[in-house]
Amino acid sequence: MIVPEFWAEARVQHKVPGRQVTVRRFGWSDTSEEEALAMGEARAQEALGRILAGDSRLERRESKVSYNGADGMPIREEIIARHGDTIITRNIYGALCLNTPNVLFVDVDHDQGPRFTFSFYPSLILLAGAASYGVHHRSFWSFVICFAGLSVLMNIVLNIMNSIHRRIGEKPSARALRRIEWFSTAHHEWHLRVYETPAGLRVLVMHDVFDPSSPEVAEIFQDLHADPVYVRMCQNQRCFRARVSPKPWRIGISQHIRPRPGYWPVKPEHLPRRHQWVAAYEEKAKTHASCRFLRTYGSSRVHPEAEAVRNLHDELSRANSGLPLA
């Protein structure tokens, strides 16, 4: 896991008669901005050499994003605090996130269950029926009207079926908890803590520490239907992550973090506006929790590093406060 303190963007050029190539690359460092700039210059020179050698796939300028899982760029967020290997950052919309290299968090996707939609064969049958009707009446418009009518009828039927499923089907949270129970039964030596979040569940694994790219982690992600975006982030950033303060719009803050967009670092002249926004956000955030502890599954084994992260996570997220989730 890399969450650098300092960032800089370097720019290099290659000029020949009739052609100019400009390449920009970011550099990062935990030591100084100068060291970050030196790294950026080295990365830019390397990219320029590849472009001049004919590599047309390379972008001439990297996107400025909080973290780019696709490219494996480090997490680019303001570092708020360090607790050993665990780092607390402020993300692009202002919430606090806990980042840890080896204590396993799983964001569980709330699967909505079966949804009835058009598929190939029913659509083919519908088309054939409309075509038969059109041929029988020897009219193209008869075909069009029949096809439209059957399509509307099928949509009505599908909407009714989906409505019935939502009313009488198993709730997504119950399905997610059942998957956790199944996993715990098959892995009784694992110690799982389960939290409710506004949009799903969060699982914290307590009995051991893990490499984000390990087969065990891939297995639990798959078995628990982890959020695919979260899975890619863990694999590319080589860390696990949990949001530990509310999303601003869920606590009545409609204004985006200032200045916009909230990429880090911020120019010194813009810092007062950012600090003002953060102060208002943190005051409102006191009345909400980002998750709620539900229960544990499995063994009682506790790894000391996992316990340290649990203490920090539960305190920052107000998981045991009883406050409304946001």
| Per-residue pLDDT at 70 | 45
Hey, what are 9's tokens? 């963007």
| Per-residue pLDDT at 1 | 73
Domain extent listing, the chain: 6-62, 79-110+171-317, 120-168
3-state helix, strand, coil in the chain (%, to 5): 40, 20, 35
Residue pLDDT tens, the chain, 326 long: 779 999 999 999 999 888 899 999 999 999 999 999 999 999 999 999 999 999 988 999 988 777 655 456 788 999 999 999 999 999 999 999 999 999 999 999 775 444 445 555 566 675 666 567 656 777 777 657 766 766 666 667 666 655 654 555 446 678 889 999 999 999 999 999 999 999 899 999 999 999 999 999 999 999 999 999 899 989 888 999 999 999 999 999 999 998 887 788 888 999 999 999 999 999 999 999 999 999 999 999 999 999 999 999 999 999 999 999 99
Measure the CA–CA gap between 148 and 134, rounded to whole angstroms: 12
| Per-residue pLDDT at 163 | 60
Strands 96-100 and 86-90 come out as: antiparallel
Question: Which secondary structure element, helix H or strand E, spans residue 2, and what is its range?
Answer: none
Among residues 194, 183, 184, which one has the least CA distance to residue 295? 194
Q: Is the peptide bond before 268 cis (omega within 30 degrees of 0)?
A: no
For 81, which DSSP code? E
Can you tell me which residue has the tokens 């290997």? 85
Q: What's the predicted TM-score (pTM) here?
A: 0.78
Among residues 287, 237, 280, 234, which one has the least CA distance to residue 257? 280
| Per-residue pLDDT at 129 | 66
Amino acid identity for residue 206 in this structure:
M
Measure the CA–CA gap between 24 and 169, rounded to whole angstroms: 53
Strands 19-29 and 105-108 come out as: unpaired
| Per-residue pLDDT at 148 | 72
